[in-house]
């Protein structure tokens, strides 16, 4: 039940006891614990944390709200509590680029790296399967162009919260991250030098590995950013 509905029920019940609205407001203002209880479903920047569900309407909740579309799970939140990264609910296995595309994608921002990769792929007429899949991601209320292939730094931040993410995914019976085995690795959008190699990140321990773009097929799961207002 949402905050507004709870407040309406509380007011209705209080009025049935002969209490005025002014008396109700005065009582609530003197009882912060009760006020917090009727506001329990409201998520603010102060209480967002990894493992919560991100909904297609831009809201975040620790609860599974059946009337809303879950788009992903919060994987990381910055110190302000306002900016974070959401991990998509679906994944695939692909090469980084079967054409061994060379880009120069060394940014900490996966969104910028993905833009550079797609631009290079168009100019060079080559494939960039991992980044292309993320950019075209069109599931669970996420629109094409919103998601991207995370950088190695972003994946490392997200995988620090692996346990909370796995619990959330398990509750909604969606595919868990392949974090339980040493060979389960996820492509990042970050290239290595030489440019025939890109970084992969291991969820189980955040370990960085390198992989040849065209030879290796690794896990791919998209990420998208959000801001709490």
pLDDT tens-place string over residues 41-77: 556 556 899 999 999 999 999 999 999 999 999 999 9
Cα dist. 53→22, 71, 164 in Å? 37, 8, 11
Q: What is the pLDDT of residue 206?
A: 75
Q: How far apart are CA 92 and CA 197, in angstroms?
A: 20
Average pLDDT, the chain: 85
Q: What is the pLDDT of residue 40?
A: 46
Segment 174-187, tens digit of pLDDT: 888 875 454 579 99
pTM of model > 0.85: no
Q: What is the pLDDT of residue 39?
A: 47
Instruction: Delimit the domains of the chain by residue range.
Output: 1-42, 86-227
Cβ pair 96, 128 in contact under 8 A: yes
pLDDT (average), residues 99-105: 94
Q: Which of 78, 80, 91, 89 is nearest to 56 (CA)?
A: 89
């Amino acid at each position: 039940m949402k905050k507004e509905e709870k407040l309406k029920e509380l007011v209705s019940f209080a009025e049935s006891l002969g209490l005025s609205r002014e008396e109700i407001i005065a009582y609530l203002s003197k009882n912060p614990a009760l006020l917090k209880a009727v506001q329990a479903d409201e998520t603010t920047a102060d209480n967002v944390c990894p493992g919560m569900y991100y909904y297609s309407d831009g809201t975040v909740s620790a609860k599974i709200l059946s009337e809303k579309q879950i788009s992903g799970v919060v994987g990381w939140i910055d110190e302000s509590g306002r900016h974070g990264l959401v991990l998509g609910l679906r994944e695939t296995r692909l090469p980084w680029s079967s054409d061994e595309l060379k880009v120069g994608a060394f940014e900490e921002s996966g969104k910028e790296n993905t833009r550079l990769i797609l631009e290079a792929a168009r100019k060079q007429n080559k494939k960039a399967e991992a980044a292309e899949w993320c950019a075209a991601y069109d599931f669970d209320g996420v629109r094409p162009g919103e998601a991207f292939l995370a950088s190695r730094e972003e994946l490392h931040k997200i995988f620090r919260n692996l346990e909370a993410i796995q619990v959330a995914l398990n509750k909604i019976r969606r595919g868990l991250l392949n974090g339980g085995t040493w060979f389960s690795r996820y492509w990042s959008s970050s290239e290595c030098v030489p440019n025939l190699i890109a970084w992969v990140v291991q969820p189980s321990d955040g370990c960085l590995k390198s992989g040849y773009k065209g030879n290796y097929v690794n896990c791919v799961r998209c990420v998208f950013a959000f801001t709490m207002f």
